[in-house]
Amino acid sequence: MNFNGLFQFLSELQQNNNKEWMDANRKWYQEIRNSFIDWLDHLEVELAKIDPEYYLTSGRKGINRINNNLLFHPNKPVYKDHFGAGLDQLSKQGDFYIEIGLSQCVLAGGYWRPESKTLQSIREAIDYNGEELKKILAKKSFQNIFGNLYDDGNSLKKAPKGYSINHEHIDLLQKRTFAVAYELKKEDVLDSDFTNKVIHVYKEMLPFRRYLREAVSV
């Protein structure tokens, strides 16, 4: 995958963020997109080798649209400044997310503000065995890569319904988002060892995502 070419395309797209430019450069876009899909497919083969429960998600299925949804966000540019994809996509949430772009490059996973039923399942798992999740989060190598859970600024101030404010895991029960993220630098993406770095981050994230997967599947 020529990530230098990907960054160059995105840079020129953001300077000419309109349908006319995209139409004139559609062939270039398709070349970059197809190359990214091929890289995702190669990556998936490697991820499936280390995760017996990996849910096969082709690059073509996992890749996101480059168009912004102007119906709900009319003030956004026509096109995004990144290529994004979700692999190991048993559901749209809980996948392994990869974003390579101008303003952000990130590897992430977990549940971003899940629907109430899913959130309740996660809270029930924490109530039953929150010690396991805290052990995963406290692991030194996990902390070195992700730090703490992603803070979406939307945690509850009080205890969720059915739980005491004195619960031993109240700090987790109050959260509405259960996700972690590892920010990359452009130099990381352009490094020849980038794919191996992605695999390493996936491995470190796996126990966390497995905990959530089991929580929502009960």
pLDDT under 50: residue ranges of the chain: none
Q: Are 161 and 153 in contact (CB under 8 A)?
A: no
| pLDDT score at 90 | 80
Q: Quick check: helix, strand or coil at residue 96? A: strand
CA–CA dist 153, 88 (Å, integer): 27
What is the spatial distance between Cα 172 and Cα 179, in angstroms, rounded to a whole number? 12
CA Rg value for the chain: 19
pLDDT at residue 71, rounded to an integer: 64
Tokens coding 153: 């600024």
Distance separating alpha carbons of residues 29 and 180, to the nearest angstrom: 30
Q: For 1-53, how does the pLDDT look when each residue is reduced to its tens digit (9 = 90+)? A: 999 999 999 999 999 999 999 999 999 999 999 999 999 999 999 999 999 99
Overall size of the chain counted in residues: 218
**59, two tokens:** 């690059």
Cα torsion 157, 162, 163, 164 to 10°: value is 90
pLDDT recorded at residue 91? 72
pTM score, whole prediction: 0.92
DSSP state of 67: B
Cα(157)–Cα(49) distance, integer angstroms: 42
What pLDDT is recorded for position 37?
98
Tokens of 20: 């006319």
Q: What is the largest CA-CA distance in the chain?
A: 61
CA distance readout (Å), 13 to 16, 20, 45, 79, 205: 5, 11, 31, 8, 32
CA distance 204 to 51: 12
